[in-house]
A and B are shown apart, each in its own frame.
Chain A
Amino acid sequence: MEKTNTENNQTNLIEVKEEKSNLLSSSLINSITTNFGDQVKLVYKKENRSKIMVSPENLVETALYLRNNHGFDHAESASGTDYPADNQIEINYHLGSYSNTDYYPYILVLSTRVDRTDPKSNSLINIFPSVEYHERETYEMLGVFFLGHPRNERFILPEDWADMPPLRKDFRIKGR
């Protein structure tokens, strides 16, 4: 009898947690959409994760809003994904919060798509200083130039690297 009680309690706890996470997620997305309207597109909403897509012109504005109004204060990672079929490169910032305890488990993916032939995007280094090395890595791995970043330079790759950025899809590993 005792055992079933604890089991019930546990399932209740999990439900409460999920509800809280959903509420948080909904309120965050609502606040973003009421502020930016059609400029922001919601890509997915899962438990503790959501992804929003903005145009490159609205990237800085949205990031600033998220930092000032919701307490997202650092980026866990900034990376890029190459989509040659669409002729685009997608840049993802995985934003988290250390100052707002409600958002501790939450990761918001702020993403934008830039043209693949001449990829340029505004750097978020002034809003989130933690993206410094991540953006530098994205520059050398995918060739995205970050406007406003002080050092769009070689970081991890060898100094004599003379090929195309290696995480582009048309770069093939030899023998594969």
Chain B
Amino acid sequence: MSSLEEKIDEAKKLSLQITKETEDDRLMTLSVGPQHPGSGHFRFTIKVDGDYIVFVDPDPGYVHRGHEKMCEYRNHFQNIPHLERPVIHDSCNITYAYSLAVEDLVGITVPRRGQFIRALASELSRLSYTLYWLAIYGIFLGHSTMFMWPAGDRELLIDLLERLSGARVTNAFNIPGGVRNDIPYNFKEKCLAQVNYFETRLKEYEDIFYNNPLLRQRTEGVGILTKEDAIKLGVTGSVLRASGVPFDVRKVEPYDVYDEIEFNVQYMKTCDSFARAYVPVLDMRESCHIIRQLLDKMPDSGDVREKLQFNIKSSPGETYKRVESGRGALGYHVVSDGTPRPYRVKASVGSFRNLLALPFLLTGSKLGDMPAIYWSLNYWPVEADR
């Protein structure tokens, strides 16, 4: 008898040990990306407790090309084509910031007409990027029409950029000293017509997507990033403006001709995923206003470019110049030692800064809210990897 009771006791202990859940048994680790279609070239590891995300660890670097190192081997003009690669849709803004930095080091000013043309190119580029982002945001929230429409309308702006620079996406149009070429014949009229038509489409986006009750239910009140947290994490761009900070580099630190342009900094105070998805659309509307003003105020003749030597030597020193890109403030810290090649280039990109908000927002939210939060961060993995 006694031996049997002992055996039963032992069995009970054993079964208790087996059924006792350790933390590792309870949590499940999921790897999202880089092959997962919903993350881009980027992986983050999450741990879920049932339906709730309890741990997030981003792991960028799948498309790291080391272009900060590559810059040290090339001169300022050779750097332009490879610097724009991380976000090919927004290439004009990336090269804009680098050009400003080089011009500051060399000590030249760009002719006025050139300033207008490169501002115009970067606004078109911004629209093209934002539409691409909106298309992806639409499809990952299960709204395939919202993928088709922006992807189709983007062709209008790509056409304009193609007429302007000769390439559809990787334009390499803004270079140190101005822009590569003048605007083609009849460009102003064509641009005005396309942009005016495009602005009417924004209203339709709102009707079909942003006023859609399904979208509102999935995004409103989801992923709250309060103003204090946004400031603490140092996020930028639409993520910051959706949290109630009216910060736009074009307004607070106008470069080139932006101090002559009238526009509003669009921001919202609801701090949720919906605000982060809606602010870029408000920005697109402002961009249309800006483009019309740029076309109107552009001088009819004049140089578009201050001709620089190919192997231009910059004075020793350093500079930090920034522009407002589609994903927020984009700054280049360029150190020069007096040779034609930069000594050190550091890109401070919006995506890398907004990445810090990802673990902050996802931890504690539901797994189903993941796409709505992740894509609302306006995160472009390739840019963060550089």
Contacts and interface: CB of A to CB of B under 8 A. Distances in A.
A45 B319 CA distance: 11
The interface size bin for chain B is 35 or more
A157 B356 contact: no
A61 to B, nearest CB: 21
B227 to A, nearest CB: 9
Decide if the interface of chain A is mainly helix, strand, loop or mixed.
mixed
Contacts of B333: 77, 79, 92, 94
A147 B182 CA distance: 52
The interface size bin for chain A is 35 or more
Given A77-B331, A104-B252, A166-B66, A98 B231 contact: yes
Interface stretch (A22-30, A33-41, A129-137): A129-137
A76 interface: yes
Interface string B190-234: 000000000000000000000000000000000000000011111
B69 A74 contact: no
Contact of A73 (B232, B259, B352): B232
Contact of B356 (A82, A133, A166): A133
A107 B320 contact: yes
Interface in B315-368: 317-320, 322, 329, 331, 333, 335, 343-344, 346, 348, 352-353, 355-356
Contacts of B240: 98
B68 A109 contact: no
B250 to A, nearest CB: 11
Contacts of A117: none
Given A77-B348, A104-B247, A156 B69 contact: no
Interface string B242-261: 00010100001100000110
A25 to B, nearest CB: 13
Interface string A99-118: 10000110101000000000
B253 A156 contact: no
Interface in A73-89: 73-77, 79, 81-82
B234 A76 contact: yes
Contact of A76 (B231, B253, B331): B331
B226 to A, nearest CB: 13
Contacts of B385: 156
Given A99-B231, A133-B355, A173-B70, A77 B245 contact: no
Given A76-B331, A81-B335, A130 B356 contact: yes
Interface string A122-155: 0000001110111000000100000000000001
A79 B346 contact: yes
A123 B236 CA distance: 22
A157 B232 contact: no
Interface of B: 60-61, 64, 66, 68-70, 73, 230-234, 236, 240, 245, 247, 252-253, 259-260, 317-320, 322, 329, 331, 333, 335, 343-344, 346, 348, 352-353, 355-356, 385-386
Given A156-B64, A173-B73, 10 more contacts: A44-B317, A74-B232, A74-B233, A92-B333, A98-B234, A129-B233, A134-B352, A155-B61, A156-B385, A158-B61
Closest 10 CB pairs of A and B: A130-B234, A74-B234, A77-B348, A105-B253, A156-B61, A104-B252, A79-B346, A98-B231, A81-B344, A76-B348
